[in-house]
Amino acid sequence: MYAFDVTRPKTVDEAVAALSQEDAQALGGGQTLIPTLKQRLASPSALVSLTGIEDMKGVCQDGDTLVIGGGTTHGTVASEGGAYPALAALASNIGDPAVRNRGTIGGSLANNDPSACYPSAALASNATIVTNSREIAADDYFQGLFTTALDEGEIITSVRFPIPQAANYQKFVQPASRFALVGVFVSKHADGVRVAVTGASEDGVFRWSDAEDALSGNFSPDAVDGLTASADGLMTDLHGDAEYRAHLIKVLTKRAVAACQ
Protein backbone atom coordinates (compact mmCIF):
# COMPACT_ATOMS: atom_id res chain seq x y z
CA MET A 1 0.00 0.00 0.00
CA TYR A 2 0.99 3.59 -0.47
CA ALA A 3 0.42 5.96 2.39
CA PHE A 4 -2.97 7.66 2.67
CA ASP A 5 -5.09 9.48 5.24
CA VAL A 6 -8.35 8.10 6.57
CA THR A 7 -11.36 10.03 7.73
CA ARG A 8 -14.53 8.61 9.17
CA PRO A 9 -17.33 11.17 8.82
CA LYS A 10 -20.64 10.75 10.63
CA THR A 11 -22.94 12.26 8.01
CA VAL A 12 -23.35 12.11 4.27
CA ASP A 13 -22.67 15.84 4.00
CA GLU A 14 -19.38 15.51 5.82
CA ALA A 15 -18.47 12.61 3.59
CA VAL A 16 -19.28 14.56 0.44
CA ALA A 17 -17.12 17.42 1.69
CA ALA A 18 -14.27 15.09 2.50
CA LEU A 19 -14.53 13.50 -0.92
CA SER A 20 -14.10 16.84 -2.63
CA GLN A 21 -10.38 16.80 -1.75
CA GLU A 22 -8.11 15.86 -4.59
CA ASP A 23 -7.68 12.07 -5.02
CA ALA A 24 -9.94 11.24 -2.10
CA GLN A 25 -11.90 8.03 -2.42
CA ALA A 26 -14.87 6.52 -0.62
CA LEU A 27 -14.24 3.38 1.40
CA GLY A 28 -17.15 1.04 1.99
CA GLY A 29 -16.43 -2.42 3.34
CA GLY A 30 -13.03 -2.38 1.66
CA GLN A 31 -13.51 -5.85 0.19
CA THR A 32 -12.57 -4.63 -3.26
CA LEU A 33 -10.70 -1.45 -2.52
CA ILE A 34 -8.32 -2.76 0.16
CA PRO A 35 -6.97 -5.62 -2.01
CA THR A 36 -6.52 -3.07 -4.80
CA LEU A 37 -4.53 -0.82 -2.48
CA LYS A 38 -2.44 -3.72 -1.22
CA GLN A 39 -1.48 -4.53 -4.78
CA ARG A 40 -0.63 -0.88 -5.25
CA LEU A 41 -3.07 -0.59 -8.12
CA ALA A 42 -4.63 2.55 -6.65
CA SER A 43 -3.11 5.43 -4.73
CA PRO A 44 -5.78 7.66 -3.21
CA SER A 45 -4.46 10.43 -1.00
CA ALA A 46 -7.32 9.98 1.45
CA LEU A 47 -9.90 7.34 2.17
CA VAL A 48 -13.27 8.53 3.36
CA SER A 49 -14.78 5.67 5.28
CA LEU A 50 -18.55 5.53 5.03
CA THR A 51 -18.93 3.00 7.82
CA GLY A 52 -19.59 5.63 10.47
CA ILE A 53 -22.65 7.05 8.72
CA GLU A 54 -25.63 5.51 10.49
CA ASP A 55 -28.13 6.98 8.00
CA MET A 56 -26.63 4.82 5.26
CA LYS A 57 -27.15 1.54 7.08
CA GLY A 58 -30.05 -0.82 7.38
CA VAL A 59 -32.97 -2.34 5.53
CA CYS A 60 -36.53 -1.05 5.69
CA GLN A 61 -39.74 -1.55 3.81
CA ASP A 62 -41.52 1.44 2.34
CA GLY A 63 -44.80 0.13 0.92
CA ASP A 64 -43.95 -2.01 -2.10
CA THR A 65 -40.32 -1.00 -1.97
CA LEU A 66 -37.41 -2.38 -0.02
CA VAL A 67 -34.98 0.40 0.83
CA ILE A 68 -31.43 -0.61 1.62
CA GLY A 69 -28.89 1.87 2.92
CA GLY A 70 -25.82 2.18 0.72
CA GLY A 71 -23.58 1.22 3.62
CA THR A 72 -25.53 -1.93 4.48
CA THR A 73 -23.45 -5.08 4.52
CA HIS A 74 -24.29 -8.16 2.50
CA GLY A 75 -24.70 -9.98 5.80
CA THR A 76 -27.37 -7.56 6.96
CA VAL A 77 -29.24 -7.77 3.66
CA ALA A 78 -29.10 -11.57 3.93
CA SER A 79 -30.56 -11.58 7.42
CA GLU A 80 -32.93 -8.60 7.24
CA GLY A 81 -33.96 -8.52 3.60
CA GLY A 82 -36.64 -11.17 4.06
CA ALA A 83 -39.29 -8.98 2.42
CA TYR A 84 -37.45 -9.63 -0.82
CA PRO A 85 -36.33 -13.24 -0.45
CA ALA A 86 -34.49 -13.51 -3.79
CA LEU A 87 -32.38 -10.48 -2.89
CA ALA A 88 -31.62 -11.77 0.62
CA ALA A 89 -30.64 -15.12 -0.88
CA LEU A 90 -28.33 -13.39 -3.36
CA ALA A 91 -26.64 -11.48 -0.55
CA SER A 92 -26.20 -14.64 1.49
CA ASN A 93 -24.19 -16.19 -1.35
CA ILE A 94 -21.69 -13.40 -1.89
CA GLY A 95 -18.15 -14.41 -0.95
CA ASP A 96 -17.60 -15.82 2.51
CA PRO A 97 -18.75 -14.66 5.96
CA ALA A 98 -15.84 -12.22 6.31
CA VAL A 99 -16.71 -10.61 2.97
CA ARG A 100 -20.41 -10.47 3.81
CA ASN A 101 -19.78 -8.91 7.18
CA ARG A 102 -17.85 -6.03 5.66
CA GLY A 103 -18.76 -5.66 2.00
CA THR A 104 -21.63 -3.27 1.26
CA ILE A 105 -24.28 -2.94 -1.39
CA GLY A 106 -23.14 0.61 -2.16
CA GLY A 107 -19.58 -0.57 -2.67
CA SER A 108 -20.68 -3.39 -4.91
CA LEU A 109 -22.87 -1.20 -7.10
CA ALA A 110 -20.29 1.59 -7.25
CA ASN A 111 -17.62 -0.88 -8.27
CA ASN A 112 -19.85 -2.57 -10.88
CA ASP A 113 -17.62 -5.59 -11.32
CA PRO A 114 -18.85 -7.44 -14.43
CA SER A 115 -19.07 -10.64 -12.37
CA ALA A 116 -20.69 -9.20 -9.26
CA CYS A 117 -24.10 -10.31 -8.09
CA TYR A 118 -25.93 -7.14 -6.98
CA PRO A 119 -25.89 -5.39 -10.35
CA SER A 120 -28.14 -8.10 -11.79
CA ALA A 121 -30.60 -7.71 -8.91
CA ALA A 122 -30.69 -3.95 -9.27
CA LEU A 123 -31.20 -4.09 -13.01
CA ALA A 124 -33.77 -6.90 -12.98
CA SER A 125 -35.71 -5.29 -10.14
CA ASN A 126 -35.76 -1.91 -11.86
CA ALA A 127 -34.19 -0.50 -8.72
CA THR A 128 -33.39 3.14 -8.10
CA ILE A 129 -29.89 4.07 -7.03
CA VAL A 130 -30.18 6.98 -4.61
CA THR A 131 -27.13 9.18 -4.18
CA ASN A 132 -26.33 12.26 -2.15
CA SER A 133 -27.49 14.41 -5.07
CA ARG A 134 -30.02 12.48 -7.22
CA GLU A 135 -31.92 9.32 -8.03
CA ILE A 136 -30.72 7.14 -10.91
CA ALA A 137 -32.80 4.41 -12.53
CA ALA A 138 -30.92 1.12 -12.80
CA ASP A 139 -31.39 1.18 -16.58
CA ASP A 140 -29.34 4.38 -16.71
CA TYR A 141 -26.91 3.51 -13.96
CA PHE A 142 -24.81 0.61 -15.31
CA GLN A 143 -22.57 1.81 -18.12
CA GLY A 144 -20.10 -0.98 -18.80
CA LEU A 145 -17.20 -2.69 -17.07
CA PHE A 146 -16.52 -0.99 -13.74
CA THR A 147 -18.32 2.04 -15.11
CA THR A 148 -21.45 3.67 -13.71
CA ALA A 149 -23.39 6.90 -13.91
CA LEU A 150 -21.84 8.08 -10.64
CA ASP A 151 -19.89 11.31 -10.74
CA GLU A 152 -16.62 11.81 -8.97
CA GLY A 153 -17.24 11.90 -5.22
CA GLU A 154 -20.91 10.93 -5.53
CA ILE A 155 -22.09 8.57 -2.79
CA ILE A 156 -24.73 5.87 -3.02
CA THR A 157 -26.81 6.55 0.06
CA SER A 158 -29.49 3.94 -0.55
CA VAL A 159 -30.97 1.62 -3.13
CA ARG A 160 -34.73 1.29 -3.61
CA PHE A 161 -35.89 -2.12 -4.82
CA PRO A 162 -39.52 -2.46 -5.93
CA ILE A 163 -40.58 -5.80 -4.41
CA PRO A 164 -41.57 -8.11 -7.27
CA GLN A 165 -44.36 -10.67 -7.41
CA ALA A 166 -41.75 -13.36 -7.84
CA ALA A 167 -38.02 -13.39 -8.35
CA ASN A 168 -35.02 -15.67 -8.30
CA TYR A 169 -31.29 -15.40 -8.75
CA GLN A 170 -29.28 -18.26 -10.24
CA LYS A 171 -25.55 -17.98 -9.76
CA PHE A 172 -23.24 -20.36 -11.57
CA VAL A 173 -19.95 -19.86 -9.81
CA GLN A 174 -16.57 -19.37 -11.37
CA PRO A 175 -14.63 -22.17 -9.67
CA ALA A 176 -11.72 -20.06 -8.42
CA SER A 177 -13.17 -16.70 -7.39
CA ARG A 178 -16.71 -17.93 -6.84
CA PHE A 179 -18.01 -14.73 -8.31
CA ALA A 180 -20.63 -15.37 -10.97
CA LEU A 181 -19.30 -17.10 -14.08
CA VAL A 182 -22.81 -16.31 -15.17
CA GLY A 183 -25.61 -15.08 -12.93
CA VAL A 184 -29.20 -14.53 -14.00
CA PHE A 185 -31.74 -12.58 -11.99
CA VAL A 186 -35.36 -12.97 -13.06
CA SER A 187 -37.92 -10.69 -11.56
CA LYS A 188 -41.66 -10.65 -12.25
CA HIS A 189 -43.53 -7.40 -11.72
CA ALA A 190 -47.07 -6.32 -12.45
CA ASP A 191 -45.88 -4.65 -15.63
CA GLY A 192 -43.80 -7.53 -16.92
CA VAL A 193 -40.76 -9.69 -16.42
CA ARG A 194 -37.17 -8.46 -16.32
CA VAL A 195 -34.15 -10.68 -16.83
CA ALA A 196 -30.68 -9.35 -15.97
CA VAL A 197 -27.48 -11.19 -16.67
CA THR A 198 -24.17 -10.71 -14.89
CA GLY A 199 -20.78 -12.38 -15.34
CA ALA A 200 -21.25 -12.87 -19.03
CA SER A 201 -20.88 -9.72 -21.07
CA GLU A 202 -17.81 -7.73 -21.99
CA ASP A 203 -19.97 -4.68 -21.22
CA GLY A 204 -21.09 -5.76 -17.77
CA VAL A 205 -24.58 -6.49 -16.57
CA PHE A 206 -27.32 -6.43 -19.25
CA ARG A 207 -30.95 -7.31 -19.81
CA TRP A 208 -31.87 -10.27 -21.99
CA SER A 209 -34.79 -8.67 -23.72
CA ASP A 210 -35.86 -11.67 -25.85
CA ALA A 211 -36.36 -13.66 -22.69
CA GLU A 212 -38.18 -10.78 -21.02
CA ASP A 213 -40.62 -10.60 -23.91
CA ALA A 214 -41.22 -14.32 -23.95
CA LEU A 215 -41.59 -14.57 -20.18
CA SER A 216 -43.83 -11.54 -19.92
CA GLY A 217 -46.26 -13.44 -22.13
CA ASN A 218 -45.79 -16.83 -20.52
CA PHE A 219 -43.98 -16.99 -17.22
CA SER A 220 -42.81 -20.60 -17.46
CA PRO A 221 -39.43 -22.20 -18.18
CA ASP A 222 -40.73 -23.51 -21.52
CA ALA A 223 -41.17 -19.97 -22.75
CA VAL A 224 -37.39 -19.70 -23.05
CA ASP A 225 -36.98 -22.99 -24.92
CA GLY A 226 -37.05 -21.55 -28.38
CA LEU A 227 -34.62 -18.74 -27.60
CA THR A 228 -30.86 -18.62 -27.84
CA ALA A 229 -28.80 -16.07 -26.03
CA SER A 230 -26.29 -14.59 -28.43
CA ALA A 231 -22.62 -15.23 -27.73
CA ASP A 232 -21.67 -11.94 -29.41
CA GLY A 233 -19.90 -9.64 -27.00
CA LEU A 234 -19.75 -12.25 -24.25
CA MET A 235 -16.53 -12.84 -22.33
CA THR A 236 -14.07 -15.63 -23.00
CA ASP A 237 -11.59 -16.45 -20.28
CA LEU A 238 -9.94 -19.40 -18.52
CA HIS A 239 -13.23 -20.47 -17.00
CA GLY A 240 -15.56 -20.36 -19.93
CA ASP A 241 -15.82 -19.14 -23.47
CA ALA A 242 -18.54 -16.96 -24.94
CA GLU A 243 -20.46 -19.90 -26.32
CA TYR A 244 -20.56 -21.61 -22.92
CA ARG A 245 -21.65 -18.43 -21.22
CA ALA A 246 -24.41 -17.96 -23.77
CA HIS A 247 -25.56 -21.49 -23.10
CA LEU A 248 -25.53 -20.92 -19.34
CA ILE A 249 -27.62 -17.76 -19.67
CA LYS A 250 -30.44 -19.80 -21.08
CA VAL A 251 -30.07 -22.70 -18.63
CA LEU A 252 -29.97 -20.36 -15.65
CA THR A 253 -32.89 -18.28 -16.89
CA LYS A 254 -35.02 -21.39 -17.11
CA ARG A 255 -33.92 -22.48 -13.66
CA ALA A 256 -34.68 -19.09 -12.21
CA VAL A 257 -38.16 -19.12 -13.70
CA ALA A 258 -38.72 -22.67 -12.50
CA ALA A 259 -37.66 -21.64 -9.01
CA CYS A 260 -40.25 -18.84 -9.07
CA GLN A 261 -43.13 -21.23 -9.73
Partner 1 sequence: MPKDHGIGASSKRREDVRFLTGTGRYTDDINLQGQAYVHFVRSDVAHGTINSIDTSEAENMPGVVRIFTGADFAAVGSIPCGWQVTDRFGEAMQEPAHPVLAQGKVRHVGDPIAAVVAETKEQARDAAEAIVVDIDELPAVVNMKEALADGAPKVHDDLKSNLCYDWGFVEDNKAAVDEAIKNAAHVTTLELVNNRLVANPMEPRVAVGDYGFANDESTLYTTSQNPHVIRLLMGAFVLNIPEHKLRVVAPDVGGGFGTKIFHYAEEAFVTFASRALRRPVKWTSTRSEAFMSDAHGRDHVTKIELALDADNNFTAVRTETYANMGAYLSTFAPSVPTWLHGTLMAGNYKTPLIYVNVKAVFTNTVPVDAYRGAGRPEATFQLERVIDKAARELGVDPIALRRQNFISEFPYATPVAVEYDTGDYTATMDKLEEIMDLSGFEARRKESEAKGKWRGLGVNCYIEACGIAPSNLVGQLGARAGLYDAATVRVNATGSISVMVGAHSHGQGHETTFPQVIAEMIGIDESQVDIVHGDTSKIPFGMGTYGSRSLAVCGSAMVRAAEKVINKAKKIAAHLLEASEADIELKDGKFSVAGTDKECAWGDVTLAAYVPHNYPLEDIEPGLEETAFYDPANFTYPSGAYACEVEVDPDTGKVTIEKFAAADDFGNVVNPMIVEGQVHGGIAQGIGQAMLEGAVYDAEGQLLSASYMDYAMPRADDLPFYIVDHSCATPCTHNPLGVKGCGEAGAIGSPPAVVNAVIDALASGGKNVPHIDMPLTPHRVWKAMNA
Ligand X SMILES: Cc1cc2nc3c(=O)[nH]c(=O)nc-3n(C[C@H](O)[C@H](O)[C@H](O)COP(=O)(O)OP(=O)(O)OC[C@H]3O[C@@H](n4cnc5c(N)ncnc54)[C@H](O)[C@@H]3O)c2cc1C
Binding site for partner 1 (CB under 8 A): 1, 39-40, 172, 175-177, 181, 237-241, 244, 247-248, 251
Q: Compute the distance between CA of residue 52 and CA of residue 165 in angstroms, rounded to an integer.
A: 35
By a kind-dependent CB cut-off of 5 to 8 A, residue 236 interacts, out of ligand X, partner 1, none, with: none
Coil, helix or strand for 61? strand
Coil, helix or strand for 1? coil
Interaction pattern, residues 88-117, with ligand X; x per rule: CB under 6 A? ------xx---x--xxx-xxx-xx-x--xx
By a kind-dependent CB cut-off of 5 to 8 A, residue 39 interacts, out of partner 1, ligand X, none, with: partner 1
Q: Compute the distance between CA of residue 86 and CA of residue 190 in angstroms, rounded to an integer.
A: 17
Residue 223 binds to ligand X (criterion: CB under 6 A): no
Q: Output 65 or 93, the one with its CB closest to partner 1.
A: 93
CA distances 223 to 86, 185, 196, Å, are 21, 16, 16
For residue 60, the minimal CB distance to ligand X (Å) is: 17
Q: Output 126 or 131, the one with its CB closest to ligand X.
A: 131
For residue 176, the minimal CB distance to partner 1 (Å) is: 4
**Share of the chain residues as helix, strand and coil, in percent rounded to the nearest 5:** 35, 25, 40
Interaction pattern, residues 51-80, with ligand X; x per rule: CB under 6 A? -------------------xx---------
The residues near 82 (Cβ < 8 Å, ≥ 6 apart) are 88
